[in-house]
Amino acid sequence: MELSTIITALHEHYADRSGEPTVSDYASQYGEPGYSSSGPVLLGNFWCNCAHGPDADEQNARALERGEKPHYLHGVEFHYPRTFARLEDEGCALEWNDEWVVVEDKAYRTQADSYSWEPTAVYVPDSGGEYLTPDSDPESWIDFAVNNPSRCIMSHTLSDSTLAEYGFAERTCELESGWYDRQDDPTAILEEIQSREDVDVLFKLSGTEQFRVTFCVFVRPREGTELKSRAAKVWRDRLELGTFSHAQCRAWAKVVYPLSIGQDVDARTSLTSGEAVALRAMMRERDGIELTREHAETGLAWIRKYHADAMPQWVLESFERFTFRGEAYNVAGWDANDYRRRPHYVPVWRIHGVNGEWLDYCAAAWQSGRTGPRILRQYDRATDSVYSRI
């Protein structure tokens, strides 16, 4: 008998008094991370509540003692051992239909199985049964969650780089709510940001634990955001020129980047936080700004003189160019004993090799007490992979 015929028969078979079929739905594969099967995934109610299961005499006697009609709960496979043995041989996976759902021929868990679990398929209210999954368009996820403090993007659904492609920049990732004397309120956060800035706000889950969740805030300028201040217009003109000097990269790291993530800055500037977010979006659209040739040569000479041992060999042998992608690194951290008792941001440079390799690093300033290059991420052409170095 064909496997499809068996599945159809189970779909039409009602073993429980609830009126549910033994198999209510099935998928050809899992969509849920961490699960796999060589055969179809069957969702169903695999209980039987009749009076003819294993240990029937003992169980039915107990029912009669309670004054109930003989029946008790047992697995339906007791009645169809050959059928369920065939399903096992075919590599089928059996899941409970009140814990799983099928979306576009993939099975997703809807009930948690651990404290760290996050939903991969998310139900969209008032949609007529629609679910969002990792296969959904990123815009659908963003439309679902943007400017809504009751919704968020899952940590594994859209990467930070994908959000960046849609204009979002991380504002903070230091938020939590739970039982550890801290309850950051998404509603209050949304209201506070949008009372000062004309931006869209998106919440993204960063972790779940037994007694708390942690989350991040991303913002992007709303369509049509104007650059009104003199400082914003100067930065816009610099971006349009297509190259930055070393000093301009440092100024961006000290002023534009901190403002875009909601930090105060030392420098006197007319630039607003919303304009800083818009400028970072412009930078992302350009995929970075190339460092002037003069400053690129100076930077490479600095690396060769002071930190040749810390860099991969290709940086010295096949260097092509430097770019600045608008990112900055807090070399001082948040330790109150560090430099000036506040964050100290420095530019993150990207070194490009002629063969396609690249490496992101920052030069820790002497004020932070942490000298030398900090290699953040690197693309290895040999393995076609990006990995963190810090």
Tens of pLDDT, residue by residue over 275-299, are 888 898 888 888 889 999 999 998 8
Query: CB within 8 A of 225, min separation 6: which ones?
Result: 198, 199, 274, 275, 278
Task: Return the pLDDT at 147.
Answer: 96
pLDDT at residue 302, as a whole number: 87
Q: Is the pLDDT of residue 221 over 90?
A: no
pLDDT band at 237 (very low <50, low <70, confident <90, very high): very high
* Distance separating alpha carbons of residues 317 and 336, to the nearest angstrom: 41
Percent of the chain beyond pLDDT 70?
A: 88
For the chain, what's the residue count? 390
User: CB neighbours of 93 closer than 8 A, spacing ≥ 6?
Assistant: 30, 35, 37, 39, 40, 41, 42, 107
User: What pLDDT score does 114 carry?
Assistant: 93
Segments making up each domain of the chain, as ranges: 3-109, 131-221, 225-390
Q: Nearest to residue 373, comparing CAs of 308, 318, 293?
A: 308
Packing angle between helix 81-89 and helix 3-11, nearest 10 degrees?
130
Contact yes or no for 204/216 (Cβ under 8 A): yes
Start-to-end Cα distance in the chain? 57
For the stretch 182-213, pLDDT in tens is: 899 999 999 999 888 888 999 999 999 999 99
Beta bridge partners of 202: 218
Residue 129, pLDDT above cutoff 70: yes
In this structure, of 39-53, 83-97, 151-165, the range with the lowest mean pLDDT score is 39-53
Question: What value does the mean pLDDT of the chain take?
Answer: 84
Pick the more confident residue, 213 or 259: 213
Structure tokens of 345?
Answer: 């941001």
| pTM over cut 0.75 | no
Percent residues over pLDDT 90 in the chain: 38
Query: Is residue 79 a contact partner of residue 48, using CB atoms and an 8 Å limit?
Result: yes
pLDDT at 18 over 60: no
* pLDDT at residue 337 greater than cutoff 60: no
Do residues 261 and 328 touch, judged by C-beta distance below 8 A?
no
Q: Say which residues have a Cβ less than 8 Å from residue 230's Cβ, sequence separation at least 6.
A: 270
